[in-house]
Amino acid sequence: MNERVQPVYLEEKLEEIRADGHLEYRSKSLPTWCPGCGYFSMVEGLTTALKRLEIDSKDTVVVSGIGCASRFPFFVNTYGFHTLHGRVLPVATGVKIGNDALTVVAVGGDGDAFAIGGGHIPHAARRNVNLTYLVFDNGIYGLTKGQTSPTSALGFKTSSTPYENRDAPLHPLMMLLSYGASWVGQAYAGRQHHLADMITQAVSHQGFSFLRVLSPCVTFDKTNNTYANLNTTVRDLPDDHDNSNLMAAMNQASRDDHPALGLYYKEDRETLEQVMKATASRSVKTGTGRADKQ
Ligand SMILES: Cc1ncc(C[n+]2csc(CCOP(=O)(O)OP(=O)(O)O)c2C)c(N)n1
Ligand code: SF4
Ligand SMILES: [Mg+2]
């Protein structure tokens, strides 16, 4: 006979949630996302990661673009910057260059990242700016009521493609790997503990870390990136995946029929801030750049 399921009492659950202290990273504003939106997991994931890494709120800046995903800074108790559509990375890069003691987390949706903001990603990646970029990929424009995005599936019927989407989707992981991102991973809003682990790793990485988070838009997508579909299609990266091997990472990233979760690729190399400091100290030593030497 099946054991009876024991009830979970609200007070006990609240005590459990409060116990590890990550709630101190939540702001006083309740998220305004639709009930069931995958984005709630990201708030849980980032606050858990900051607590685990013992990074002070006052030393953290969360920068976002525009979109449902980009409302994120309002819901965390850190410094925040809600910028313009597609401009999250230039602003986040500026914040990091201005004060490299800060932990900088850039956040946005798939439209913000790969449509209007697509031109900025390769440069942040190749320069290895020491920040984390979390892209919440729901394959749709949520905020503007459900148009196709650059990651929408072929055949997807949306408000901008009432017959069907005929534009082939981009491959975000393949793009980031070829752009030279030094940390590339994938997570899923429906696997919250794994998501928190991945955000923790991404934030700890010294260099440009890119985490794509697959996330259902429960309001405007009833057919594609639903929890029911993603629960059956996502898989883990194979145990023997070598995340120092770029070709192995690309091989896994190209298989988007069953998207794999985990760390695809990681490499340690000089960050933009290190390059800039080295260049500045060379300039001081050689005197180049001084008006009296020109
Ligand atoms: C310059 C500019 N162009 C267009 C818009 C309208 N707009 C706001 S959010 C958005 C797309 C949002 O989609 P995504 O980035 O995927 O975020 P989501 O809402 O799905 O989280 C668009 C086109 C805008 N705000 N500014
Ligand atoms: S419209 Fe979609 S992406 Fe936006 S909050 Fe609602 S469920 Fe989330
Ligand atoms: Mg989107």
Ordered domains of the chain (ranges, CATH): 30-269 (3.40.50.970)
> What atom in ligand 2 is closest to the CA of residue 34?
6
Of ligand 1's atoms, which has the minimum distance to the CA of residue 149? 16
- The structure tokens listed for 248 are 């192995």
Query: Reduced to 3 states, what is the DSSP secondary structure of residue 44?
Result: helix
User: Amino acid letter at 53?
Assistant: L
pLDDT value of position 178: 98
Q: Whose CA is nearest to atom 2 of ligand 2?
A: 217
Q: Crossing angle of helices 172-179/246-253, nearest 10°?
A: 160
pLDDT of residue 124: 98
Q: Number of C-alpha atoms within 13 angstroms, CB side, residue 260?
A: 22
Question: Ligand 2: which of 30, 33, 112 to mutate, judged by most atoms within 8 Å of the beta carbon?
Answer: 33
Kindly state the tokens that stand for 111.
């439209």
Nearest CA to ligand 2 atom 6: 34
Run of H or E residues at 265: strand 260-266
Cα 9 to middle of ligand 3, angstroms: 35
Q: Residue 169: its pLDDT value, please?
A: 97
pLDDT in tens, the chain (294 residues): 567 888 888 898 889 888 989 999 999 999 999 999 999 999 999 999 999 999 999 999 999 999 999 999 999 999 999 999 999 999 999 999 999 999 999 999 999 999 999 999 999 999 999 999 999 999 999 999 999 999 999 999 999 999 999 999 999 999 999 999 999 999 999 999 999 999 999 999 999 999 999 999 999 999 999 999 999 999 999 999 999 999 999 999 998 789 999 999 999 999 999 999 999 999 888 876 555 555
Q: Residue 65: which of 9, 114, 130 has the closest Cα?
A: 114
What is the CB < 6 Å shell around ligand 1?
A: 66-69, 85, 108-112, 116, 136, 138, 140-144, 149
Say what the pLDDT of residue 147 is: 98
* Distance from the Cα of residue 245 to its chain's centroid: 22
State the burial class of residue 290 (Cβ atoms within 10 Å of its Cβ: 0-12, 13-18, 19+): exposed
pTM, to two decimals? 0.95
In this predicted structure, what is the pLDDT of residue 150? Answer: 98
Q: Which of 33, 17, 21, 14 is nearest to 75 (CA)?
A: 33
The tokens 């006979």 sit on which residue? 1
pLDDT at residue 292, as a whole number: 58
Per DSSP, what are the bridge partners of residue 185? 211, 263
